[in-house]
Structure 1
Amino acid sequence: MFVKICGITNEDDALLAVAMGADAVGFIFAPSQRQIAPQKVYDITRRLPPEILTVGVFRNEVPSRVIEIADRAGVKAVQLHGRETPEQTKQVAARFRWVIKAFAAGDDELPVADQYGTDMILMDAPDPGSGKVFDWNLAGDAPSQMKLILAGGLTPDNVAGAIKEVEPWGVDVATGVEKEPGRKDPIALMRFIENAKEAAPEQYLGEDEGPYNWDFE
């Protein structure tokens, strides 16, 4: 079960998420309470183990700017969390091996997400960043062959139920493990990752339980 902890704003939280077993950490470059500067992200990412996927999160930014900021920040992956077109997404995917295209629940584009040139997609609440739960059944609109990451309103208490219902490839959380905007709660973080990993669907369990090498390829 792929677990991404998003909205990281400081090195302590990044290292804590890694120590607790997170597979990825996300840094928000779009306007947000959790927005962080590229240079600060670079200072954090160079301290993280290579098996951790570092993700820069953008919203409605032009591809050239996405690529420039992500390169400066030293992240391995990019998450496009706005109304980016398939063409814009493919431009970014031509530069970054790992691209996550986010869609709001109920988005008309979700059923054709396989036209965006990436195999990793994220389904979020209609109001991203709100921390509100939505109808998880809407995940059924996503193309079945894609790696679906579920986000929006997840907490340590409901993540196992969400995984059981949706059977996603991964989960993503920001507000659900915070003690205040931009600051993680260590206990909530630990419980979320533990509960998510324990609830992993059988199809995502394999013989190789070691860390994935995101630098491969």
Structure 2
Amino acid sequence: MFVKVCGITREEDALLATALGADAVGFVFAPSSRQVAVPIVRDIVRQLPADMMTVGVFRNESARRVVEVVNEIGLRAAQLHGNETPEDCRWISERIPVTIRALAVGSPDLDYFDEFGADLLLLDSPVPGSGEVFDWSLAEGAPDNRKMILAGGLDPT
């Protein structure tokens, strides 16, 4: 199991997630109640172990800006949660260590996921960040040849 704690806005939360065994922490740059500024993330990332997977979450940001932010801060991955085109995703993937393409369960984009050139597929509910649970059996329709992250309304059960 791979655990990513997303929506980190404070250093103490990132350090706690690390201490509790999270494999990755995510920082939301897209407009959201959990949006965090680049300088704050840069300071937090400097305090984390070098092997911690740090992920920037973007929605409908220009490909150049995604690459700029990831490389400026030293993040290990970009999670693309918007209407990014396959061309933009491939361009980003060529310039940063890891690209995660987030798609809603049931999205028609799942049929041609490979065209995005992303390293990982993140399946989420139709409203990301809402805590809304979706029918997990729908994940069976995702491409078999990709590593997948499940998100959306997860709980210990």
Q: TM-score, normalised by structure 2?
A: 0.96
Q: How does 1:114-129 map to 2 (within 5 A)?
A: 114-129=114-129
Equivalent residue number for residue 73 of structure 1 = 73
Equivalent residue number for residue 84 of structure 2 = 84
**Other structure's SS at 1:113 match:** helix
Question: Percent identity of the aligned residues?
Answer: 56
Structure 1: tracts of 5 or more residues without a match = 159-217
Equivalent residue number for residue 47 of structure 1 = 47
Q: CA RMSD in A?
A: 1.0
Equivalent residue number for residue 4 of structure 1 = 4
**Other structure's SS at 1:92 match:** helix
1:37-73 Cα deviation digits (max 9, x unpaired): 0110000101111111000000011100111122233
Equivalent residue number for residue 133 of structure 1 = 133
Q: How far, CA to CA, are the matches of 1:112 and 1:125 in structure 2?
A: 19
Structure with greater contact order relative to length (CA < 8 Å, sep ≥ 6):
1
Matching of residue 111 in structure 1 with residue 111 in structure 2: yes
1:76-117 Cα deviation digits (max 9, x unpaired): 110001111110001110111211000011100113212211
Given that residues 57 and 80 in structure 1 are in contact (C-alpha distance below 8 angstroms), is that contact kept between their aligned partners in structure 2? Answer: yes
Q: How far, CA to CA, are the matches of 1:134 and 1:21 in structure 2?
A: 26
Given that residues 71 and 96 in structure 2 are in contact (C-alpha distance below 8 angstroms), is that contact kept between their aligned partners in structure 1? Answer: no
Q: How does 1:1-217 map to 2 (within 5 A)?
A: 1-156=1-156, 158=157
Give aligned pairs, total: 157
- Following superposition, the deviation at residue 74 of structure 1 comes to 2.3
Given that residues 112 and 142 in structure 1 are in contact (C-alpha distance below 8 angstroms), is that contact kept between their aligned partners in structure 2? Answer: no
**Other structure's SS at 1:67 match:** helix
Structure 2: tracts of 5 or more residues without a match = none
Higher Rg of the two aligned structures: 1
Q: TM-score, normalised by structure 1?
A: 0.70
